[in-house]
Structure 1
Amino acid sequence: MKKIDKSAHTGDGAIALIHQRVYEMGFVWHERKTDAGIDGEIELRNTVTGEVANRVLFVQSKGKGERRFPGENDTSFHFLCSEADVDYWMSAPVPVLLVCSHPETGEAWWMHVQEWFADPAHRASGRVDFDKNTQRFDRSAAHRLLNLADPHGNAHVPVAEDKPETLTSNLLSVTMPKIIYHAPIGTQDPRDVLIRQRDLYPHLPFAEDFILRNERIYTWRPPHSTALEKLIKGPVKEMAVGEWADAGDDVRQRWLVQLLNNALRADVAADCAWHAGRKIVYWRATPDLAARHIRSASGRTRQVFTPKYKKKDISQIGYYLHAALEWQFLDIAGDWYCALVPTYHYTRDGHRDSYYLSEYLAGIKRLDRNPAVYHQTRMWAHYLHGEDDAIDFRNSILAYGSLETLNADKGIDDKAWLTDPRKPADEDSLEDNTVAITDGEEELTLFEVPR
């Protein structure tokens, strides 16, 4: 009686598993009936349009049934290749994948052999080391195979798929008061107005939500409710905001935006300091310089002021890290929004700028990825909206709404276009937002802390 032995049956199962995985990726599998070291080809295909890209990958399959690969455990294994196979693969005109699998369990892993054996030590040993966590041969590997076969993106461009997505912008809706108050004040120097309020009338409410034009002061709040009442030199008049917002006058629009900027500064003044050089607000240090936490939109606790200890001496503070905010007010089709741009600030004592401020900012900006920026933006929006009970809205000038969202019926897989093909998969997926700082300073970290 004729038989098909276990080895042949396992080999056939391994090829079938590769075929299934390639199908799930949206590509095309071409099996070779006769081979001398290449079992088949993967032809790349645009999964949305169906167009083929005239790019292929060669595949050599190695399957194990009930037996394990050499050195196999839960996280890794290795495979020993013959010198003849390696020479054959290295001479191929296209990338060659070595796919090792367990057909009975549906598990498979892959390695780009030319890249691996470009290392002389690897080629001399003939050994290929597999990481089970980062080298799975399944749908998640599709974008890496595209980058491997077409590293310059000449033959493939990520195309939007038919899938609903909700896109969250950084535009926070804003409602401003309907009235602007103005009166003669006899000065054009805002600093003079601020200093005189502090020095002469410290017992009265302080006002910084104003601008000066032609020796007149314009403010959101009536001057009689603040120390400005003592400084003005004539009757207070009222004007509708629409006289500036709807007049089509670029100069008056800029005046209105400056008033809005000063209003936001005033609204957060109880918690945040203003940095005139960087044009940002940042969370103030706590009185005892301990970390400060607030509740973010996701319900998680976030640190907005953090002491950072030196790496070489954890008993000493290296610097203090503050959550900070840049912003811009925009008139979009008659509606006003505040575009939030979260950033960071660094001080050496909770107040004075760190000596390494520029270096720290450059380091953390290189590491900020979309999730970090997204959650920081939501944190500021949540705070301004007042849901953290940090702002007393009885005294707030502006009313802050919610971040604008858009609904889309198509979307692009972020992994497909954000991945750098020059880096291994585990490096691209890092969520460790840290970077080493020179001069013996501590590492930078983002603000979110575990519940």
Structure 2
Amino acid sequence: MKRIGRSDIIGQRGMAHIESVVLSMGFMFYPTGGVEAGIDGFIELRDEATGAVGNLLLQVQGKSTERLRLQAETEESFEFPCSEADISYWMQGTAPVLFIVVLPEKGVAYWKSIKAWFSNPDKLKARKIVFDKQADIFSREAKPAILALGLSTTRGATAPSARIQEELIVNLVGVSTARTLYWAPTSFANDKTFGAALRELDSKAGSEWIVRGKAVLSFRNLDAWPWNKLCEAGAMEEFGSDEWSESDDEDRQRDFVALLNRAMSEFVRPALWHDKGSGAFFFPKPKARDKLKYAYKSLKSFVPRDVVKRYGKRRDDPSQAAYWRHSAFRHRFLRLGEHWYAEITPTYHFTREGYKPDPWAGDRLKRIKEFENNAAVMGQFVMWRYFLTHHGAADLYAEGYPFLAFALLEPLGLDVGVPDDLWKSQEANPDSPLFDWEQAEA
């Protein structure tokens, strides 16, 4: 004859107890049934007042026992051991997991959030759950805690990492500078007064200098004109730039970053303009045209991109464009270990008539950031990376910019990754016309 064992009855009593408590909370309980690897059912959160459900689920692993004494039991607590395989299975999932121990004969159950408990390395190493007999009772009174746990879960599914070979592109470029810095005393107290005097002598003089404590520090030779007219050239000293770039002194590091920022402004000229308000560098509008294209090497081939383009019509004058959108980037110099890098953040700049500040620039930027997808950001970074690593380089007709240069960094190899189709499925707008995946992968 077919038989149903006592352990099956005990297990079913445990599930019945769990379902009864869940229903008393006003939530729904769905037993897994059939074959399962470590999840006995699901709790779906429900608004008790309106009956509304929103597909917010918590997984349940139940354990029912008639043992008279539990492991390491005291009047206040007891322990429950877990296998390494079970813990791994519960922790890698996307939903919260409730571990519920039911004592049918006593009509009581206790619960813990698996991920919260085993997020502690020491608890994970011990591979056991310690239940508090007062604080961990699984009853209707536990509803607020379970509701908070369910609502804290990030909405949307996340698949486990795929074991594929992946290359990670970081938004950094390597930085190298001139090997020599020049220092000389000056009668000027700050950058503003020194800069004004310098422009009177030569309006095109470079800006790769800073004034600190009535002394000038510069990538340029201060013994040459027009610098020698504003400095005590006879007292000039030469230093290796590494005395600043490799120094652990915070003041020297700040001074070196200030020099790098000034050199960046000179490096990108005349191809880019600088917006002092946002700190962004952007492609300017050509004088005789309404748009500008820039060709660069993407991940596989050369592609053109609209970097300046007009949009809309002005209400007060329909013959004029409402605004121009300019591709732009902001940057930040940082030292990682013994090396310097520039962190590049793609963005946009907006103008009226191609050069005047657009009073609605902030709103336009907010809307476009909501609209663009991951490939758009990646594509813009690849474009700016190409610009920085090729602009100002020496060729047959001109010498390269001598004070600052940028280098391409090799992608980081990973043994795990996320397939591109999965990335695209999570995009707010995977079909954004700002930039498409085919162009990014070209």
TM-score (norm 2): 0.59
Q: How much has 1:322 moved relative to structure 2?
A: 1.4
Q: How much has 1:53 moved relative to structure 2?
A: 8.6
Q: How much has 1:157 moved relative to structure 2?
A: 4.7
Report the equivalent of 1:140.
Answer: none
Report the equivalent of 1:170.
Answer: 171
Are residues 1:398 and 2:401 paired?
Answer: no
Structure 2: gaps of 5 or more residues: 1-31, 44-52, 56-93, 96-149
Report the equivalent of 2:416.
Answer: 410
Whole-Å separation in 2 of the counterparts to 1:194 and 1:378: 35
Alignment partner of 1:330 out of 334, 345, 353: 334
Whole-Å separation in 2 of the counterparts to 1:263 and 1:254: 14
Kindly indicate whether the alpha-carbon contact (under 8 Å) linking 1:185 and 1:234 is maintained by their aligned counterparts in 2.
no
| Structure 1 residues 319 and 353: alpha-carbon distance in aligned structure 2, compared to 1, 3 A threshold | same
Kindly indicate whether the alpha-carbon contact (under 8 Å) linking 1:43 and 1:52 is maintained by their aligned counterparts in 2.
no
Report the equivalent of 1:218.
Answer: 217
Written as runs of structure 1 = structure 2, the 5 A alignment for 1:182-331 is 182-202=183-203, 205-224=204-223, 227-235=226-234, 236-298=236-298, 299-310=302-313, 315-331=319-335
Report the equivalent of 2:363.
Answer: 359
Q: How much has 1:294 moved relative to structure 2?
A: 1.6
Q: How much has 1:387 moved relative to structure 2?
A: 6.4
Report the equivalent of 1:99.
Answer: none
Q: How much has 1:396 moved relative to structure 2?
A: 4.2
Report the secondary structure of 1:317's partner residue.
coil
Q: How much has 1:52 moved relative to structure 2?
A: 6.4
| Structure 1 residues 282 and 390: alpha-carbon distance in aligned structure 2, compared to 1, 3 A threshold | farther
Report the equivalent of 2:112.
Answer: none
Report the equivalent of 1:339.
Answer: 343
Whole-Å separation in 2 of the counterparts to 1:404 and 1:166: 9
Written as runs of structure 1 = structure 2, the 5 A alignment for 1:13-162 is 54=41, 157-162=158-163
Are residues 1:348 and 2:349 paired?
Answer: no
Report the equivalent of 1:78.
Answer: none
| Structure 1 residues 417 and 322: alpha-carbon distance in aligned structure 2, compared to 1, 3 A threshold | closer
Q: Report the residue type matching 2:230 in the other structure.
A: L
| Structure 1 residues 433 and 283: alpha-carbon distance in aligned structure 2, compared to 1, 3 A threshold | closer
Whole-Å separation in 2 of the counterparts to 1:186 and 1:328: 31
Report the equivalent of 2:387.
Answer: 383
Written as runs of structure 1 = structure 2, the 5 A alignment for 1:413-424 is 413=419, 416=422, 419=425
Report the equivalent of 2:65.
Answer: none
Q: How much has 1:414 moved relative to structure 2?
A: 5.5
Q: Identity percentage over the alignment?
A: 23
Superimposed CA distance per residue, residues 350-374 of structure 1 (whole angstroms, 9 cap, x where no aligned partner): 2221011111111111123211111
Report the equivalent of 1:69.
Answer: none
Q: Report the residue type matching 2:403 in the other structure.
A: I
Q: How much has 1:225 moved relative to structure 2?
A: 5.2
Q: Report the residue type matching 1:340 in the other structure.
A: I
Report the equivalent of 2:433.
Answer: 432
Report the secondary structure of 1:251's partner residue.
helix
Whole-Å separation in 1 of the counterparts to 2:306 and 2:156: 45
Superimposed CA distance per residue, residues 74-97 of structure 1 (whole angstroms, 9 cap, x where no aligned partner): xxxxxxxxxxxxxxxxxxx999xx
Report the secondary structure of 1:410's partner residue.
coil
Report the secondary structure of 2:233's partner residue.
coil
| Structure 1 residues 369 and 234: alpha-carbon distance in aligned structure 2, compared to 1, 3 A threshold | same
Kindly indicate whether the alpha-carbon contact (under 8 Å) linking 1:318 and 1:348 is maintained by their aligned counterparts in 2.
yes
Report the equivalent of 1:98.
Answer: none
Report the equivalent of 1:180.
Answer: 181
Kindly indicate whether the alpha-carbon contact (under 8 Å) linking 2:268 and 2:391 is maintained by their aligned counterparts in 1.
no
Q: How much has 1:259 moved relative to structure 2?
A: 0.9
Which segment is superposed worse, 224-233 or 276-285? 224-233
Q: How much has 1:400 moved relative to structure 2?
A: 0.8
Q: How much has 1:301 moved relative to structure 2?
A: 0.7
Whole-Å separation in 2 of the counterparts to 1:374 and 1:294: 16
Q: How much has 1:327 moved relative to structure 2?
A: 0.6
Report the secondary structure of 2:357's partner residue.
coil
Report the secondary structure of 2:188's partner residue.
coil
Q: How much has 1:200 moved relative to structure 2?
A: 2.9
Whole-Å separation in 1 of the counterparts to 2:356 and 2:155: 50
Which segment is superposed worse, 175-184 or 282-291? 282-291
Superimposed CA distance per residue, residues 382-435 of structure 1 (whole angstroms, 9 cap, x where no aligned partner): 011116979966234212100442000101245547756xxxx9x75322349x
Structure 1: gaps of 5 or more residues: 1-40, 57-92, 96-145, 435-444
Whole-Å separation in 2 of the counterparts to 1:183 and 1:375: 44
Whole-Å separation in 2 of the counterparts to 1:334 and 1:153: 38
Q: How much has 1:199 moved relative to structure 2?
A: 3.0
Whole-Å separation in 2 of the counterparts to 1:276 and 1:209: 17
Whole-Å separation in 2 of the counterparts to 1:397 and 1:155: 48
Whole-Å separation in 2 of the counterparts to 1:379 and 1:227: 37
How many residue pairs get matched? Answer: 301
Q: Report the residue type matching 1:337 in the other structure.
A: Y
Report the equivalent of 2:78.
Answer: none
| Structure 1 residues 157 and 294: alpha-carbon distance in aligned structure 2, compared to 1, 3 A threshold | closer
Q: Report the residue type matching 1:159 in the other structure.
A: P
Q: How much has 1:289 moved relative to structure 2?
A: 4.4
